[in-house]
């Protein structure tokens, strides 16, 4: 049985209320699942998920360890992904009947699954993929083809392709490793069965098992040189609860003719980087350095943190000790990591 929630009106609260309700409603839900009552389940679960957020999507699916899985997902909406993960973090411990997930999970029986899109049944086992891994990219581009795509309009084709990829690879892994997705009506040359995608992704991922950083050069809006160091790959899905953006701006006193740090400022910035790395290594910080860049006499550091941690306060303390001028710390909510979107890979 597969059920999907519907998008509703705005109402932004409800995680605690959801799980309080679940505790009391659990016997009714169990009975409805046993009876195969899709309408009854929709009536019970739909309003409660919409109370968490109207744009979250819910689904019942076979569990990995339990008999059933309740999935409440952002369905690719980066703004909502942290909320879905907080919903799952607050869930009760799974048991033999239920487990809970903030994203669609890969199925070991993906090729046997079917679902309906646009009034047409889609069999995952008939999906084939044209795959292309651009040189140096941390993603694989996918052209998805299914025999029934000719019967669907463009939006339904894309929805079917995304749902099938989620079943084959898992929703978070699609966000992590799949780049451009197209749903095509003609089979690509050298197409492979979709069930082979996990092996392709595993091979790609093996090249990024250790932390890596990219050194980038560019220009500011005024044309001044800019040097940036960015985590590579840089993807919000890797840190779904880190939706607090902490931007630290450090003015440096010693610069060369292009505005980049020189002399004593290089040493001061290196010392700051070491203290920052030590701070972020502490579990209580619950934060990650995404990017830092230097240009026009300023070092700008972009950190993303779980707002339930103490990273923002610790970074304020660290910045207060900056010796070459008055440092600035700005803290905002940024679940989509929009402040560093040029560096997201």
pLDDT at site 5: 42
pLDDT at site 135: 81
Cα separations (Å) of 179 from 173, 208, 239, 258? Answer: 11, 16, 18, 36
* Nearest Cα to Cα of residue 22 among 62, 65, 68, 55: 68
Report how far residue 336's alpha carbon sits from residue 316's, in angstroms, rounded to the nearest whole number.
23
pLDDT at site 26: 96
Distance of CA 45 to the CA centre of its chain: 24
Among residues 154, 176, 208, the one where a domain terminates is 208
Q: In what order do the strands lie in the sheet with 225-231?
A: 213-219, 225-231, 287-295, 298-305, 244-251, 328-333
Tokens 């705005």 belong to 10
Do 86 and 174 fall within a single domain?
A: no
Q: Tell me the three state secondary structure of residue 90.
A: coil
Report the CATH number that the domain containing residue 256 is assigned in CATH.
3.30.70
pLDDT at site 8: 33
* Nearest Cα to Cα of residue 58 among 9, 100, 117, 14: 100
Count of the separate structural domains present in the chain: 3
Among residues 148, 179, 208, the one where a domain terminates is 208
For 253, residues 6+ apart whose C-beta sits below 8 A from its C-beta are 264, 265, 324, 325
Strand partners, 218: 226
- Show the tokens assigned to 91: 């869930």
pLDDT at site 11: 39
pLDDT at site 73: 97
Do 144 and 257 fall within a single domain?
A: no
Strand partners, 300: 249, 293
Divide the 345 residues of the chain into consecutive groups of 10 and give the mean pLDDT of each group.
37 82 97 96 96 95 94 94 96 96 94 90 95 88 96 95 96 96 95 95 92 94 95 95 97 96 97 96 93 97 96 97 97 96 91
Domain hosting residue 318, numbered range: 213-343
Do 219 and 335 fall within a single domain?
A: yes
């Amino acid at each position: 049985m597969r059920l999907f929630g519907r998008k509703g009106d705005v109402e932004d609260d409800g995680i605690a209320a959801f799980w309080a309700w679940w505790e009391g409603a659990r016997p009714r839900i169990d009975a409805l699942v046993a009876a195969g009552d899709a309408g009854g389940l929709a009536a019970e679960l739909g309003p409660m998920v919409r109370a968490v957020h109207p744009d979250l999507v819910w689904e019942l699916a076979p569990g990995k360890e339990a008999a059933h899985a309740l999935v409440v997902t952002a369905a690719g909406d980066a703004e909502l992904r942290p909320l879905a993960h907080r919903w799952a973090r607050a869930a009760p411990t799974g048991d033999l009947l239920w487990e809970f997930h903030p994203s669609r999970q890969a199925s070991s029986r993906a090729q046997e699954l079917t679902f309906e899109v646009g009034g047409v049944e889609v069999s995952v086992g008939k999906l084939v993929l044209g795959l292309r891994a651009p040189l140096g990219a941390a993603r694989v581009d996918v052209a998805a083809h299914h025999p029934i795509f000719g019967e669907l309009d463009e939006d339904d084709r894309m929805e079917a392709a995304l749902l099938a990829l989620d079943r084959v690879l898992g929703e978070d892994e699609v966000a992590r490793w799949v780049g451009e997705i197209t749903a095509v009506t003609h089979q690509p040359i050298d197409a492979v069965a979709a069930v082979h995608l996990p092996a392709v992704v595993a091979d790609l991922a093996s090249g990024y098992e250790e932390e890596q950083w990219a050194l980038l050069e560019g220009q500011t809006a005024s044309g001044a040189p800019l040097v940036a160091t960015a985590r590579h790959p840089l993807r919000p899905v890797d840190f779904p609860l880190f939706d607090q953006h902490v931007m630290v701006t450090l003015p440096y006193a010693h610069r060369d003719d292009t505005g980049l740090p020189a002399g004593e400022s290089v040493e001061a910035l290196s010392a700051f980087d070491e203290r920052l790395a030590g701070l972020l290594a502490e579990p209580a910080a619950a934060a990650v350095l995404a990017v830092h860049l230097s240009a026009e006499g300023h070092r700008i550091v972009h950190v993303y943190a779980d707002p339930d941690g103490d990273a923002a306060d610790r970074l304020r303390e660290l910045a207060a000790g900056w010796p070459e001028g008055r440092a600035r710390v700005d803290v905002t909510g940024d679940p989509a990591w929009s402040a560093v979107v040029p560096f997201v890979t």
